[in-house]
Amino acid sequence: MKINIQREKLTQYEFDLEDATLLEALNEIKINQDASLVYASGCRSSVCGSCAMRVNGKEVLACAYKVQDGDLVEPLKNVPIIRDLVVDMSKAYKFNAKAKAWQSSPAKNISVTQEDEKINEVQSDCILCGACYSACPVYTVNSEFLGPFSLTRVWRYVSDKREDNTKDKIDTIQTNGVWDCTLCNECTIVCPQDISSKADIEKLRAKSAISGHMDPNFGSFGGFGGSFDGSPTF
């Protein structure tokens, strides 16, 4: 089987593996053919988020994707490439801090029910792989967009009874946040954990509106009554 890997130059590798994951293929190439190939990995079981990359233009986890003849493997988008398939996630991760994606203070004696826990169960499955961040088209126009995973994380905490200052959380995500999303759904399609950041952003928009915030696009795009792609925002 042959695959092409986007390194400094597009490079083709050939190997003999059956029913293998892309991560196994990369390991095989590195160990037996070219020790200078670099990529990140850890758990090899789709839970640490290290090995996100793009195959044929779509974000996948290398350890969860079964490699196919002719695949084109590239690093994630919207992040600086350090080398080969390794990208620098530090700026992307910093959006979690900018979005204050955490519980403001330790909770005291708050009873969480089975139903409460289900509300954000999916959101707390996020493995911070960055696939959604790579797939999001907004970054080509706004590099400061808080982005899908950090907004999903804000929803996780905002929707949790244990959070005692949701106002501050909602206020924080007004700039470069919920209104900058085009609701294109690209993030949802690539998420290996079946999280829909788009849906979370919509929920955050609704919550923002209830808290008295307005869609800033509403003024400039007044006639269309929606965001960039024309989809309704409420």
Partner 1 sequence: MRSDVVIIGAGGAGLVSAINAHESGAKVIVLTKEYPTRSQTCMAQGGINAALSNAGEDSVEAHIKNTLKAAHGLAQESAVKFLCEEAIGAVEWLDSIGVPFSRTKDSKIAQRTLGGASAARACYAQDYTGLKILHTLYDRCLSLGIEILDERYLLEFITNKSENKVSVCGVSVLNKRSGEVEIYEAPSVIVATGGYSKIFHKHTTNSSSSTGDGIASALRAGARLSDMEFIQFHPTALKNSSILISESARGAGGYLLNSIGERFTNELLPRDEVARAIYDEMQKGEDVFLDIRHLGEAFIDEELPQERKLAILYENIDPVSDLIPIKPVAHYTMGGIEVDSESMTNVMGLFAVGECANHKVHGANRLGGNSLLELIVFGRQAGNNASKYAKNVKKDENISLHVEVESEVLDKIRNCTCRVSFYEKHKLIGDIFYKNVGIKRDKKELIFALDEIYKIKDDLPLMGVDDKSKIYNNNLVEFLEFKNMLELCETVLLSAIARGESRGAHFRVDAPSENDAIFKAHSIVDESGRVSYEN
Which residues would be at the binding site for ligand SF4 (CB under 6 A)? 126-132, 135-138, 148-149, 152, 181-187, 190-193, 195, 197-198, 201
**Token pair listed for 216:** 């800033």
Q: Is 18 in the site for partner 1 (CB under 8 A)?
A: no
9 phi/psi in degrees, rounded to 5: -115, 150
Minimum distance from CB of 66 to ligand FES (Å)? Answer: 13
Give the one entry of ligand FES, ligand SF4, partner 1, none that residue 191 binds, where binding means its C-beta sits below a cut-off of 5 to 8 angstroms depending on kind.
ligand SF4
DSSP strand pairing (72-74 vs 2-6): parallel
DSSP three-state, residue 198: helix
Q: Is 104 in the site for partner 1 (CB under 8 A)?
A: yes
User: With respect to ligand FES, which residue has the nearer C-beta, 45 or 220?
Assistant: 45
| Identified binder of partner 1 from the candidate list 73, 127, 132, 204, rule CB under 8 A | 127
Give the one entry of ligand SF4, ligand FES, partner 1, none that residue 169 binds, where binding means its C-beta sits below a cut-off of 5 to 8 angstroms depending on kind.
none
Cα gap 51→142, rounded to integer Å: 25
The CA R_g of the chain, rounded to the nearest whole Å, is 20
Q: Is 121 in the site for partner 1 (CB under 8 A)?
A: yes
User: With respect to ligand FES, which residue has the nearer C-beta, 51 or 126?
Assistant: 51
Cα gap 146→155, rounded to integer Å: 13
Alpha helices for the chain (secondary structure H): 22-32, 90-98, 114-119, 131-135, 148-158, 166-172, 186-190, 197-210, 217-220
58 phi/psi in degrees, rounded to 5: -120, 140
Minimum distance from CB of 198 to ligand SF4 (Å)? Answer: 4
| Identified binder of partner 1 from the candidate list 106, 212, 219, 222, rule CB under 8 A | 106
Q: Which residues bind ligand FES (CB under 6 A)?
A: 41-44, 46-51, 61-63
